[in-house]
A and B are shown apart, each in its own frame.
Chain A
Amino acid sequence: MLDRALGAWIGLRTRWRGLALPIFASPLLPAALLFAIDGNERGVTGAALGFGGSLLAARALRRGRQGDSHRAAWLMAVGTGLSAQMAGHLGIPMSLIMATGALFGTRMMYRALPETAPPPPPEPPPPPPGPIEESRLRLARIEAVAARRGDGKLQGVASAMEGVLDDLTAHPDRLPQARRFLTVHLDGLERIVERLEAGAAPPEGLPILLDDLATTAQELRGRLTREESAALDIQVKVLSDRLREEGFR
């Protein structure tokens, strides 16, 4: 019975929490006004800091996250201490006593009220696409334009380059050898496609250039495969020699 009554009381206090703090500091408002009429800037500042501290503390308590009641207690302590020193002229020792009292008073007054856990940190953004993925995106745009224009040669170059990208996806270690090729070919193709989309008439040399681009793409694929074959050949020879030296053959 008493537990339930206490629970209901806690619920009520949780709904209204923090709103009492500015009421405790409310005499500072008319004090600030009278200090202002008197031209006492130090008094106005002290009273404003004290009342402002209580407002900030109330705001922190209204948020109700873990650790907010501690924060609110410190804000009240700082506000009360500063107003005691600047507006109340109580001297440093008495101001410190007042600040300590406000700190413990706020802590005690808002004890046992529920606080929610802070929200989880935002998820890190996804990593930027790698060079192959980025090249695929650029190539997809070129392919879309080629398909829309019904340009067979452009589509041929795009599909040859897609073959290179497929090879690089399967063997990413070959990427350093093909990076320059990808940059030159993709940049060139993109510029050509941009001009064609802008309404430029294709020059006479364009079909030959596109043929060259397709051929070099195929040559690159062949070269990369040959290099891989050569590496395997060397590996086989080395292993055979080793077996012979060790007397296994």
Chain B
Amino acid sequence: MAERNVTSLPVSPPLTTPLVWAWGGVLLTATTWLVGIVALFRSIGGLFG
């Protein structure tokens, strides 16, 4: 039996990708942004402490 010439189509990302992005944003908010806010409050506290 002759083999069929199969060309692979580019795989499109799953439709849940925006959810992954959103969770990534939440994680960055809960880490990098929060660290910035904590540092900001500490710096304000250092000025008045």
B interface residues, how many (CB within 8 angstroms): 30
User: A43 near B: Cβ within 8 Å?
Assistant: yes
In terms of DSSP, what is the predominant structure of the interface of chain A? helix
A90 lies within 8 A of B20 (CB): no
- Chain A, range 80-126, C-beta contacts under 8 Å to B: 80, 83-84, 87-90, 97-99, 101-102, 104-112
Docked complex Cα distance between A99 and B34 (Å): 12
Q: Given known contacts A90-B38, A105-B32, is B13 in contact with A112 (CB within 8 Å)?
A: yes
Interface string of B5-49 (1 = CB under 8 A from A): 000000011010110110111111111111111111011101100
B13 lies within 8 A of A50 (CB): no
Interface string of A29-64 (1 = CB under 8 A from B): 011111101101001001100100010000000000
User: A217 near B: Cβ within 8 Å?
Assistant: no
Total inter-chain residue pairs, C-beta < 8 Å:
138
A24 lies within 8 A of B33 (CB): yes
* B33 CB contacts on chain A under 8 angstroms: 24-25, 27
Q: Given known contacts A6-B17, A10-B13, is B29 in contact with A24 (CB within 8 Å)?
A: yes
Provide 15 A-B residue pairs closer than 8 Å at the C-beta atoms, listed in order of the A residue. Answer: A24-B36, A27-B37, A30-B43, A31-B39, A80-B35, A83-B35, A102-B31, A105-B24, A105-B31, A106-B28, A109-B28, A111-B13, A112-B13, A112-B17, A112-B20
Supplied contacts A38-B46, A83-B39, A105-B30, 10 more A-B pairs, CB within 8 Å: A6-B17, A21-B28, A28-B40, A31-B40, A43-B42, A50-B39, A54-B32, A76-B28, A102-B27, A111-B24
